[in-house]
Chains A and B, each alone.
Chain A
Amino acid sequence: MSSADQPYIDPSEIALEESAAERFKNPSDAFWSGIRDAAGAPAMVLFAGMVGFGAMGKTNGFDVWFTTFTSFFMFALPGQVVLLEMAITGSSVVAIALAVTLTSTRFITMTVTLFPQFHQKDRNRSLYASVHLLAMTAWAISMREFHAIEVRHRLSYFVGLGLLCWLISIPGTILGFYLAGMVPPAVTLGLVFINPLFFLLTFTEVKPWINRIAICLGCIFGPIFFIVDRDTSLLTAGLVSGTIAYFIDRKFLRKKTGVVG
C-alpha cells in the first residue's frame, strides 16, 4: 500500500481509493451477490459439517432440540463439537463453557481483521447483531472479496454471505440428526466422520509455524491429558500446547527470517 508509511490509517480508507470500479449498484444487489457467492463449495462444506454434527448429536443420544439450538445459537462447529464431546465425557459446566469460549476466541481475531473494512456509517450497534453471522466460511470469502467491493456495500455483501451460511446450518443439523436415525449404519458412520476429517484437512492449510507447532503438540498432549483427566483434557491440552508453541515461536523462530508465517 502506498499509504503504509502513515502512522495510522483506517483500512477502509485505503480500499475506498482502490476499488473505483462499481461492482454493485445498490445494497440489495450486494446482498444477493453475497448469497450467490456463499452458495457453492463453501456452503456445501459447511452444510456437510452441520449434517455431520446433527448425526453426532443423534448417535450420542442428545435430542434434536439441543443439537439444533447449538447450531442456531453458537454457529461455530469446533465449539459445538467440543460442547458435545465434553458433555458426553461428563465434564463440568464450568470446564465446558471455558473450553468452548477459548475455541471461539478466533472470532475476536476474525472480527478485528474484517470489521474495520466496513464503511464508517455501518460501524454502529447493528454490528453486534451482524457479528453472529461471522464464521470461518464467511470470513474467508469476505477477506478475499472485500478489496474489490465498494466500502459502502461491503456490509450488505457480508450479511448476505453470512446469512445464507447461518440459515443452511439449521436444516443441515436437523437433516443430519434424522438421517442418522434412518439410514443404514454405514452411512451414519460416514456422517459422523465428516467433522473430524474436516478439521484434520484444514490443518494442512495452516501456514504460520507457531500454529503448526501448536497443532502437533495438541495432537500429542490431547490423548495424554485425556488419559490423565478427561474432564478438562481439551482445555489443559490446548492451553499447555498453545503456550509452549507460543514460546517456541517467540524464543527461536521469530529471529530466523523466512520461518515466521
Chain B
Amino acid sequence: MSTINTMTNALSGWGLWIALVGACLGTYFCRAIGVLLSQSINQDSEIFRWLAAVTYAMVAALTIRLIVMPLGLMATVPLWIRALICSLAIGVMISKSTKRLVPALLTGTLLMVGYGVIR
C-alpha cells in the first residue's frame, strides 16, 4: 500500500487525483444506492444502526485529530488554547437547547482569530 507515496509523505500528482475520483465515486455511490433502496428498505434496520455508528465514530476520530493533533497552521496554536476555545464554544452551544449553532461557531472562530491577533 505504501508504494504510492514514494517520494514525499503527502499524496501527490496522479495519485491525488485518482484518490479524488475514488472519493467522488464512493460518495455518489452511497447517494445512488439510497435512491435504489428508498423503494424497499426499512430505515430502522440493523445495518443502518451500525453504519450510523461507524460514521459518527469516524467523524469523531477525524475531529479530535484535527483539534488535538493538527497538521500545519493549527499546530502553531498551543493545545490548551485549542481545548479552551472548544470548551467555550461548546458552552455557548449547550447554554440553550435550540438554535445555538451560529453563535457558538462564531464564538469559537472569533476567539481563534483573536488569539492569532494577540499572540
Interface residues on chain A, size class: 35 or more
Point out the residues of chain B lying under 8 angstroms from A99, CB to CB. Answer: 58
In A184-200, which residues have CB < 8 Å from any B CB?
184-200
In A21-37, which residues have CB < 8 Å from any B CB?
none
| Residue ID in chain B nearest A100 by CB atoms | B23
Distance of A169 from chain B, by nearest CB (Å): 14
A106 and B102 alpha carbons, distance in the complex (Å): 23
Asked if A108 lies at the interface with its beta carbon under 8 angstroms from chain B, I say yes
| Residue ID in chain B nearest A188 by CB atoms | B73
| Residue ID in chain B nearest A98 by CB atoms | B26
Contact indicator A215/B105 (Cβ below 8 Å):
no
Point out the residues of chain B lying under 8 angstroms from A210, CB to CB. Answer: 49, 52-53
Asked if A203 lies at the interface with its beta carbon under 8 angstroms from chain B, I say yes
Contact indicator A60/B71 (Cβ below 8 Å):
yes
Point out the residues of chain B lying under 8 angstroms from A179, CB to CB. Answer: none
Contact indicator B57/A110 (Cβ below 8 Å):
no
Contact indicator B113/A187 (Cβ below 8 Å):
yes
In B14-36, which residues have CB < 8 Å from any A CB?
15-20, 22-35
In terms of DSSP, what is the predominant structure of the interface of chain A? helix
Contact indicator A234/B26 (Cβ below 8 Å):
no
Point out the residues of chain A lying under 8 angstroms from B84, CB to CB. Answer: none
Point out the residues of chain A lying under 8 angstroms from B30, CB to CB. Answer: 101, 104-108
A223 and B2 alpha carbons, distance in the complex (Å): 21
**Per a CB cutoff under 8 Å, which of A110, A204, A242, A246 touches B93?**
A204
Interface centre among A44, A62, A214, by most chain B C-beta atoms within 10 angstroms, is A214
**Per a CB cutoff under 8 Å, which of A44, A123, A218 touches B56?**
A218
Given contacts A74-B27, A101-B27, contact A44 B102 (CB under 8 A): yes
Asked if A1 lies at the interface with its beta carbon under 8 angstroms from chain B, I say no
A102 and B35 alpha carbons, distance in the complex (Å): 17
In A88-123, which residues have CB < 8 Å from any B CB?
88-116, 123
Contact indicator A81/B62 (Cβ below 8 Å):
yes
Given contacts A107-B31, A109-B52, A242-B50, contact A218 B105 (CB under 8 A): no
The 8 A-B pairs at the shortest CB distance, nearest first, are namely: A111-B34, A186-B116, A222-B61, A238-B58, A242-B54, A101-B26, A218-B60, A97-B22
Sampled A-B contacts (13; CB under 8 Å) = A48-B109, A101-B23, A105-B54, A109-B48, A134-B31, A186-B114, A187-B116, A193-B108, A216-B60, A217-B57, A223-B68, A238-B58, A241-B54
